[in-house]
Structure 1
Amino acid sequence: MTLRPIADVGAELGLSPDDVHPWGTHRAKVSLGALAKQGGRQGRLVLVSAINPTPPGEGKTTMSVALAMGLRRRGRKVVAALREPSLGPVFGVKGGGTGGGQASLEPAADINLHFTGDLHAITSANNLLAALVDNAVYYGHPVAIDSTRVRWRRALDMNDRFLRNVIVGLGGKAHGVPREGAFDITAASEVMAILALSENLKDLEARLGRVVVGHSPDGKPVRARDVDAAAAMVALLKDALMPNLVQTREGGPALVHAGPFGNIAHGCSSVVGTRMGLAYADEVVTEAGFGFDLGAEKFLDIKCRSTGLWPRGVVLVVTLRALKYQGGAPLARVADPDADALARGFDHLEKHLESVRAFGLPAVLCVNRFPQDTESELDALRAFGKERGVETAVCEGFTRGGEGSLELADRVLAMLDATDAAPPQPRFLYDVKQSPEEKVRAIARTVYGADDVAFTASARKDLEMVRELGGAELPVCMAKTHLSLSDDPTKQGRPRGFTLTVREVRLSAGAGFMVALTGDILTMPGLPKEPAARRITVHEDGRITGLMQGE
């Protein structure tokens, strides 16, 4: 495989050489100034989501890349706007996040590892703020901070359960003030969310300045701007705010930028990356993390509310193995034919289609085909979709690249063309002026199918603090398991008659939302017993293998 010069990839989109800043041989940053040159041009936005996956995932990124390849083969000027991988999953359970097989982003190893340094910049900005906060605790200057009420956490782009709870400041007076602290994975940091939602450098600095880091001895909130952190953080993030340009395996353009997790953060690539794509391409293929219940809901209720953008339609990725898993088949047997489990899994798919309709959006079912899938099973899925007025496309992008994605491309183009006369208009699940409790209930009842929501005593106390800090009218970012529609990962299919429990609420004032944590969701994951890091090999010629599943 020979990659195209990155300048040629940018030129295909219409980007000038002055706006494409090479970052190595096959990576580049795109100048923020390129946005203004297009005079408000707007392409068609396609949101790729999925049903709830099996633990290894269902290839949603692979299908996003495949769709972009298929549309390009149909002569469309298309760009994929996707998230950056985090080193946590790369070395943890899932491996690399650049698609797979013949439908991948390139250079895959570079993207999955250090890429253009964005994750490093976000981690550094997060920890600079942590250092400035603890410095203010130590000196009482430029503002006094109560050491027992520091809210800001440190970050690391790695799964490390030993850092979930730490004690800092040990060693005597010269080394700090002892207190309990914690680490989040960088993808769950509010700085990541802020970068992903910022429109420009000025907006970035304003959002960073609003971050609540702790409280003064008299109980007043202390923000990042009070410790003079915002401008210095922007200095670290200046280059990171520019979208990254890479290419698909077939040479098509892709903007890969920002990477908040879908289950513990808002799960969408950057606003500036999406806007850049819409300014230069006919179609922009973007994805939201995990199932429709997580990433897509946040994409629509948080990102689209913030930007005024709205997709033309949804591509809902399904696999037969995930349907059978949601139908009760053991994970070890999901590759086997099982008509009963598949039929039960359709109930799970039905709930996701209901959620898509709740937002007023059309959908196409995209089947990521695996070798063991049988025609009779695929026919059953096609019939299910047809009964509900939803087209189904079987995609073989993993094995055949763009050529295997033409059916999907054609189905999506037909969906988009049908919306040209009357594009779907924004339809949110809740009004931000509703109470936080009402907003959480709207999501839980409409998207998860919950009967009600319970708030623990600790969560209710958190909500009191959110109100005191002026965050009651912000959108809600739900932190929930990706393996179930409920907050219990063992409840497969379409759970009914359950109550969702919110155990903690955090205010992300800079990002512009509150985070409601449910179940056992942790903002610092741990490595599995057999981490992906153990299968990685660096060869004598510098090639790296083992980053992706199946290598």
Structure 2
Amino acid sequence: MLSDIEISRAATLHPIADIALRAGIPADAIEPYGHYKAKIDLGRLDPGDAAGKLILVTAINPTPAGEGKTTTSVGLADALNRIGKRTMLCLREPSLGPCFGTKGGAAGGGYAQVVPMEDINLHFTGDFHAITSAHNLLAAMIDNHVYWGNALDIDVRRVVWPRVADMNDRALRDIVQSLNGPGNGYPRQSGFEITVASEVMAILCLADGFADLEARLSRIVIGHTRDKRPVTARDLKADGAMAVLLAQAIKPNLVQTLEGNPALVHGGPFANIAHGCNSVIATRTGLKLADYVVTEAGFGADLGAEKFFDIKCRQAGLRPDAVVIVATVRALKMNGGIDKADLAHPDVDAVRRGAVNLVRHIENVRQFGVPAVVAINRFHTDSDAELAAIAAIAETHGSQAILCTHWSDGGAGAEDLARRVAEIAQTPSQFAPLYDDGIALFDKISTVATRIYRAEAAVAAPAVRAKLAQWEADGYGHLPVCIAKTQYSFSTDPALLGAPTGHIVSVRDVRLSAGAGFVVAICGAIRTMPGLPRVPAAESIRVDAEGLIEGLF
């Protein structure tokens, strides 16, 4: 059996100009980055309406058994093109941290990949480096302003802007900076987050153009003065330079699938600590160029899909037409209490026990008024009885489960799914966000906790409540909320699998992302700077004697 990277290398890629032509992008609108990837100059595209059908791919809660959400997104896009539907794929860019940690890359798998796989998973077109640089420029300008007299009277105890790095590095979570004398500035406690958690990343992904990008950057609140007035990036005169660093990064990236279909890969916030969706610019571009756009949201539907609906669609005025919920027999058995080592053994009862997780996601998607279909990403160890059990459970709960073999068969293995998606997308959805803009910020958090996570309640310390009340008084009460919590469970306890109810969602901190346009609620033990595992993937990644990268998956 060939590995993902071997399959990728064996493929015959088309010149990126040919992919652009197939997508309806004029030659003068592409800026090539080598032979097989390019930036798109949006100013040279026809400014037509974004009239395509929007299909979201989401999933059950992730497990070590794997679900294959990106693989299914690629397979579905290829399959829609195979059945005659002009389709564009819109994905997030992978972060270097997971590539060298546990999760690995995010370019799909098997015969449902976007390529060139190595480039996409590593430095790609430099977008993440630009975001990291823009974020850290603002951090440097904060400390520089304080060093040279602090004319804004910034209270260094109330600076909330950390630095970022696109790598899992737990040693940087909490640091003391500016040591070794006055020439290095004023010592203070600070820290690093991973680049995908940066508000700059969220801004890039939610902006509708360069002017909006710069305006959002200017609204970033970096901290407060000694008399508790907010200080913004505009106050520090940093917004213009930050925008300059992002001038290329804001242009969407064009690549291709293994079957030669166009794909826009742009932006990459994680859904467990950020809002988890690719850029609005890429999605809107796809909707202008194609009849169907297939996009994904990170992790399970309780995180990625909820934020896609309540943040991205709300801000961008998007109306999704259908949702695909990816599930596997293996992952449902883990939710049913089976250890990873025993997943190859058929166990219909375990599938039925674990299917409560799938049912919960079906019910949750229905709350947004969008029809959902279940994609069973098949593994060779799945038994017919296990697959039949999933199909029966999905049907009982008003959905349909469709068997897919895109990992081994490419787009041909997802044609049944494509036909069903195209069918249900013909009827306009009744999409609506979960909550109204006008309710209080903590009520928004509570709404997500009780209606999506099925918690008994959300709780927060008085200091957290006071922050929310102050932000409401400052005019930020209309913003949606972005809940940062574990991706492994509906609760804040990653070990609580299945479909728990009656648990408590404890909000330990809140952060204002005024530029991105949401409030982040940090729950449980979730961290915005991950660490590497005991045996990181980096130990096996190398360049062989022929100059080829090995160990990247």
TM-score for both structures, normalised by structure 1: 0.97
What is residue 122 of structure 1 aligned with on the other side?
131
Residue type of the alignment partner of 1:5: P
Contact 2:348/2:385 (<8 A) preserved: no
In the TM superposition, what is the alpha-carbon distance from 1:509 to its structure 2 partner?
Answer: 0.4
CA distance in 1, matches of 2:291, 2:36: 23
What is residue 16 of structure 1 aligned with on the other side?
26
CA distance in 2, matches of 1:507, 1:232: 22
RMSD: 1.2
**2:161 aligned with 1:156, yes or no?**
no
What is residue 442 of structure 1 aligned with on the other side?
447
Contact 1:56/1:93 (<8 A) preserved: no
Contact 2:323/2:372 (<8 A) preserved: yes
Q: Which moved more, 1:393-402 or 1:127-136?
A: 393-402
SS at match of 2:331: helix
Contact 2:50/2:287 (<8 A) preserved: yes
What is residue 240 of structure 2 aligned with on the other side?
231
Contact 1:458/1:503 (<8 A) preserved: no
Which digits, 9 at most, give the CA deviation of each residue in 1:288-323, with x for residues without a partner?
000000000000000000011011010000011111
Q: CA 1:56–1:152 in 2, change beyond 3 Å: closer, same or farther?
A: farther
SS at match of 2:235: helix
In the TM superposition, what is the alpha-carbon distance from 1:463 to its structure 2 partner?
Answer: 2.1
Which stretches of structure 1, 4 residues or longer, exceed 6 Å deviation after superposition?
none
Contact 1:142/1:227 (<8 A) preserved: no
Which digits, 9 at most, give the CA deviation of each residue in 1:437-462, with x for residues without a partner?
11011111111111111113442243
2:531 to 516, 521, 526: 526
Q: Which moved more, 1:142-151 or 1:69-78?
A: 142-151
What is residue 499 of structure 2 aligned with on the other side?
494
CA distance in 1, matches of 2:334, 2:241: 48
Q: CA 1:331–1:519 in 2, change beyond 3 Å: closer, same or farther?
A: farther
In the TM superposition, what is the alpha-carbon distance from 1:358 to its structure 2 partner?
Answer: 0.3
CA distance in 2, matches of 1:209, 1:56: 43
**Equivalent pairs, count:** 543
Residue type of the alignment partner of 2:514: A
In the TM superposition, what is the alpha-carbon distance from 1:387 to its structure 2 partner?
Answer: 2.2
Q: Which moved more, 1:278-287 or 1:132-141?
A: 132-141
Which digits, 9 at most, give the CA deviation of each residue in 1:491-548, with x for residues without a partner?
1111022111111101000000000011111000000001111121312333212111
In the TM superposition, what is the alpha-carbon distance from 1:335 to its structure 2 partner?
Answer: 3.0
What is residue 308 of structure 2 aligned with on the other side?
299
2:384 to 366, 371, 375: 375
In the TM superposition, what is the alpha-carbon distance from 1:472 to its structure 2 partner?
Answer: 2.1
What is residue 104 of structure 1 aligned with on the other side?
113
CA distance in 2, matches of 1:316, 1:196: 23
In the TM superposition, what is the alpha-carbon distance from 1:476 to its structure 2 partner?
Answer: 0.2
In the TM superposition, what is the alpha-carbon distance from 1:259 to its structure 2 partner?
Answer: 0.1
**2:360 aligned with 1:351, yes or no?**
yes
What is residue 479 of structure 2 aligned with on the other side?
474
CA distance in 2, matches of 1:392, 1:250: 25
Q: Which moved more, 1:211-220 or 1:173-182?
A: 211-220
SS at match of 1:494: coil
**2:256 aligned with 1:247, yes or no?**
yes
SS at match of 1:75: coil
**2:68 aligned with 1:59, yes or no?**
yes
What is residue 6 of structure 2 aligned with on the other side?
none
Q: How does 1:449-464 map to 2 (within 5 A)?
A: 449-464=454-469
What is residue 183 of structure 1 aligned with on the other side?
192
Q: Which moved more, 1:214-223 or 1:6-15?
A: 214-223
Residue type of the alignment partner of 1:10: A
In the TM superposition, what is the alpha-carbon distance from 1:468 to its structure 2 partner?
Answer: 4.6
2:35 to 25, 36, 39: 25
**2:412 aligned with 1:407, yes or no?**
no
SS at match of 2:376: strand
SS at match of 2:330: helix
CA distance in 1, matches of 2:143, 2:492: 35
What is residue 59 of structure 2 aligned with on the other side?
50
In the TM superposition, what is the alpha-carbon distance from 1:200 to its structure 2 partner?
Answer: 0.7
Residue type of the alignment partner of 1:206: A
CA distance in 2, matches of 1:84, 1:532: 19
Which digits, 9 at most, give the CA deviation of each residue in 1:145-199, with x for residues without a partner?
1121111110000000000001111111111110001101000000000000001
Residue type of the alignment partner of 2:383: T
**2:200 aligned with 1:195, yes or no?**
no
**2:272 aligned with 1:267, yes or no?**
no
Which digits, 9 at most, give the CA deviation of each residue in 1:409-431, with x for residues without a partner?
122112223x1xxx114311111
CA distance in 1, matches of 2:345, 2:239: 54
TM-score for both structures, normalised by structure 2: 0.96
Q: How does 1:306-455 map to 2 (within 5 A)?
A: 306-417=315-426, 419=427, 423-455=428-460
Q: Which moved more, 1:486-495 or 1:270-279?
A: 486-495
What is residue 74 of structure 1 aligned with on the other side?
83
CA distance in 1, matches of 2:542, 2:92: 25
CA distance in 1, matches of 2:205, 2:98: 19
2:541 to 536, 543, 547: 536
Q: Which moved more, 1:454-463 or 1:429-438?
A: 454-463
CA distance in 1, matches of 2:22, 2:324: 25
What is residue 506 of structure 1 aligned with on the other side?
511
CA distance in 2, matches of 1:427, 1:190: 25
CA distance in 2, matches of 1:318, 1:293: 14
Structure 2: segments with no counterpart, 5+ residues: 1-10
Contact 1:246/1:255 (<8 A) preserved: yes
Contact 1:391/1:411 (<8 A) preserved: no
Q: Which moved more, 1:486-495 or 1:423-432?
A: 423-432
CA distance in 2, matches of 1:336, 1:530: 27
SS at match of 1:448: coil
What is residue 258 of structure 1 aligned with on the other side?
267
Structure 1: segments with no counterpart, 5+ residues: none
Residue type of the alignment partner of 1:104: Q
Which digits, 9 at most, give the CA deviation of each residue in 1:79-126, with x for residues without a partner?
110000000111111111100111011000000000000000000000
SS at match of 2:234: helix
CA distance in 1, matches of 2:464, 2:445: 12
SS at match of 2:168: coil
Contact 1:55/1:483 (<8 A) preserved: no
Q: Which moved more, 1:401-410 or 1:192-201?
A: 401-410
Residue type of the alignment partner of 1:532: A
CA distance in 1, matches of 2:73, 2:424: 16
In the TM superposition, what is the alpha-carbon distance from 1:17 to its structure 2 partner?
Answer: 0.3
What is residue 141 of structure 2 aligned with on the other side?
132
CA distance in 1, matches of 2:224, 2:392: 58
In the TM superposition, what is the alpha-carbon distance from 1:55 to its structure 2 partner?
Answer: 3.2
Residue type of the alignment partner of 1:13: A
